[in-house]
Amino acid sequence: MPSYRIYYAERSISAGDRDRVFGKYPKEGYYDVEVLEETHWEDSIEARDPYEALDSFLREHVDSRGMLMWIDDRQRSHAAEDREADLDKTYIWIEEDKLMELQGVEEGTPGMVSCPLCDGAGEIDEATADEFAVAVGDGEEETFA
């Protein structure tokens, strides 16, 4: 079964911005926020196709579909009321008081992992990624899978 990489960002924002984006009853808001801090993440999911991978990822990361929103071209947020994952939409949700934003989905090459040197823009073999982790880390081996 193919493996897919799901890229997403964790953003610290003010409570006021969170309320403006998600509203009291999550239906529609504005995605104009001041990001206080940002961290990028990547998950690897095995699935038959990218739609199934995205759906599986969202089910794992979003507590309630009611807190899942998508952003339109005008930066307005809308409740994701349908259950169908759409690769063309930018999804946002709250996870442990952090605003999360989907950055993309792509199929991974078997035996390869995201390159830690280029922030995931390319792929390298897992052994090379582990060597890099040992060289720049605190001596503890990490796997970039």
Answer yes or no: is pLDDT of 72 > 60. yes
Which residues does residue 39 pair with via DSSP β-bridges, in sequence order?
A: 10
Q: Mention every residue, 6+ apart, whose C-beta is less than 8 A from residue 30.
A: 20, 21, 75, 76, 77
One-letter amino acid at 33 equals: V
Assigned token pair, 84:
């169908």
Q: Which of 117, 139, 140 is nearest to 128 (CA)?
A: 117
pLDDT digits (tens, 9 = 90+) for 25-69: 445 565 667 788 889 998 989 999 999 999 999 989 987 655 788
Look over the chain and give the mean of its residue pLDDT values, rounded to a whole number.
76
pTM above 0.85, yes or no: no
- DSSP letter at 84? S
pLDDT of residue 52: 94
What is the rounded CA–CA span in Å between residue 106 and residue 2? 11
pLDDT digits (tens, 9 = 90+) for 10-25: 988 877 777 767 665 4
